[in-house]
Amino acid sequence: MKTTERSAGLLIAGITSVEGPIIRVEDTGIVAYDEFVEIIDSKNQTRVGRVLEVGENFAVIEVFSGTSGLTTAGTSVRFSGRSLQVPVSREMLGRIFNGMGKPIDHGPLPLAHNFADINGQPINPTARIYPRDYIQTGISTIDAMNTLVMGQKVPIFSGSGIPHDLLANQIVRQARIGSQAGTNEERDENFAIVFAGMGIKHDVAESFRNAFTESGALNRVAMFLNLADDPVVERLVTPKIALTLAEYLAFKCDLHVLVVMTDITNYCEALRQISNKRGEVPSRKGYPGYMYSDLANLYERTGRIKGSEGSITQIPILTMPNDDITHPIPDITGYITEGQIVLSRTLTAQDIYPPVSVLPSLSRLMKDGIGEGKTRADHPALASQLYAAYAHVQDVRSLASVIGEEELSSIDQKYFEFGRAFEKQFVNQSFSENRSIEETLTIAWRILSILPKTELTRIKESDIEKYYGTA
């Protein structure tokens, strides 16, 4: 029911009330829920919005570009009779759009024969292909311990002042499908990037643009930018438009699409604002109870489906308020996505890049993407051992801070040394360093060999024989 004949084109002059980004219109006659509307102000400027609630003779509308300057008498509303649809086409690659999908790069309107509803539809689980092909990012902490898989959704949990954008840039530049890894060559023609910026600063947008340019990928990127000074409510639309294009590119054009969305925190703030203005009962910290479903409707638009060669891989970025991973935004995100890459302020302060805090990080799809015939047979156990050992390092460090490093048992001293090597040699790498999976696993074995063999209880004895002390 995408169109409602009755309300298409209906024009109502005058609105009843304005409350934040929400307006109320009465004497509407028949209007559809979720309908797309145009709001015309007294200066004949048009803004767009969406119907949030309808009664027999009223409609409540959220105005994407905000309501400042609207008067009750001087405003009229035109109903479209359909939900918000956007043009989608391959030509949109290489272009830059604003948060509502209008070109802002002075180029022509892209030619499009297809239009799609920005809300999308849920993928039928029976139609999905379970993702199993690993992506090499060239970053050791990710490839060895939180391996990405094509068609996965993995957010970066960060904080202000932590170089998450740099890391995202590096991933975008270096990511290769595992089977084609090891080459720095041009990526296949079937690769595309969709970038959605929500409430981001100009220089952040610019840094991503530069990164895309440098990697020669600019003509394979579509950027949707809702900047910090753009309307807040528009942020709720930007990622949906971006994902609508991504779905078209992946499932109709058979491209492997990497979607980077930043900053999810700004998106959630917009959600909260609308909800508060509507007087809804909040759940935690003032965020609406439906934030889980709302975010799921973004994040679940990822994956692979039968009958298509393409895929959507999502890397949303969010800044954790107060670096608090239990804050509703990272918390709800972690419950929906297929893992998370957590960045650490402590490592940042020690000038370790990328400052990936491995212990709270996770890739849920890694288990099916690595191992024999994919990366290497010893990889799963090796990763598990690194986790166990580095977790023990944390205990050793806190003990050392009480009794002093010299007083540690000889084994714990080894762990102490391992911890240092882990951070300096394994976690730390340069922005331009693109490690192959072999290199990464070699470094892992080198630092694990600091520990006595008997500590490597998670690794098969035959693999210990094969790799221990060889690097």
Ligand X SMILES: Nc1ncnc2c1ncn2[C@@H]1O[C@H](COP(=O)(O)OP(=O)(O)O)[C@@H](O)[C@H]1O
Site string for another protein, 39-68 (x = CB under 8 A): -------------xxxxx------------
Torsion of CA 85, 89, 93, 96, to 10 degrees: -30
User: x/- binding map, residues 74-93, to another protein, per CB under 8 A?
Assistant: --------xx----------
Secondary structure (3-state) at 317: strand
CB of 413 to another protein, least distance (A): 11
The window from 184-192, 208-216, 385-393, 438-446 that contacts another protein (CB under 8 A) reads: 385-393
Contacts of 195 (CB under 8 A, 6+ apart): 208, 212, 221, 222, 223, 224, 242, 259, 260, 261
The three-state secondary structure class of 112 is coil
CB-wise, 460 or 466, nearer to ligand X? 460
- The first and second tokens of residue 202, run together, are 């100009």
**Residue 56 contact, options another protein, ligand X, none, Cβ 5-8 Å cut-off depending on partner type:** another protein
Site for ligand X in 182-221 (CB under 6 A): none
Which CB sits closer to another protein, 20 or 292? 292
- Binders in 315-334 for another protein, by CB under 8 A: 326-328, 331-332, 334
Query: Which of the 8 DSSP states describes residue 91?
Result: G
Largest CA distance in the chain: 82
Choice between 401 and 432, CB closer to another protein: 401
Closest to 151 measured CA to CA, from 119, 128, 170: 128
Considering the complex, state which of residue 128 and residue 397 has its C-beta at the smaller distance from ligand X.
Answer: 128
Q: Which stretch binds another protein (CB under 8 A): 69-77, 179-187, 226-234, 362-370?
A: 362-370
CA distances from 223 to 262, 275, 350, 358 (A): 11, 28, 33, 30
User: What type of residue sits at position 356?
Assistant: V
Residues 284-323 that bind ligand X (CB under 6 A): none
What residues numbered 412-451 form the site for another protein, per CB under 8 A? 412
Helix (H, G, I), strand (E, B) or coil at 108: coil
| Whole-number Å distance between alpha carbons of 451 and 455 | 7
123 binds another protein (CB under 8 A): yes
* Eight-class DSSP state of 242: H
Among 43, 108, 126, 406, binds another protein (CB under 8 A): 126
Contact pattern from residue 269 through residue 308 relative to another protein, giving x for each residue in contact according to CB under 8 A and a dash for the rest: -----------xxxxx----xx-xx--xx-xxx-x-xxxx
- Note whether 321 and 135 are within 8 A (CB): no
Residues 382 and 274: their CA atoms lie apart, in Å, by 47
11 makes contact with another protein (CB under 8 A): no
Q: Residue 146's beta-bridge partner residues?
A: none
Question: Residues 132-171: x/- map of binding to another protein (CB under 8 A)?
Answer: ----------------------------------------
20 binds, among ligand X, another protein, none (CB under 5 to 8 A by kind): none
115 is a contact residue toward another protein (CB under 8 A): no
Q: Which amino acid is at 467?
A: Y
User: Looking only at residues 185 through 204 of this chain, which bind another protein when binding is defined by CB under 8 A?
Assistant: none
SS3 428: coil
Segment 337 to 376, residues that bind ligand X, using CB under 6 A: 362, 364, 367
**In angstroms, rounded to a whole number, what is the distance separating the alpha carbons of residues 214 and 36?**
39
CA distance linking residue 270 with residue 381, whole number of Å:
43
Out of 109, 130, 203, 349, the only residue in the binding site for another protein (CB under 8 A) is 130
Q: How many other C-beta atoms lie within 10 A of the C-beta of residue 267?
A: 27
**Residue nearer to another protein on the CB measure, 362 or 441:** 362
Query: Footprint of ligand X on this chain (CB under 6 A)?
Result: 362, 364, 367
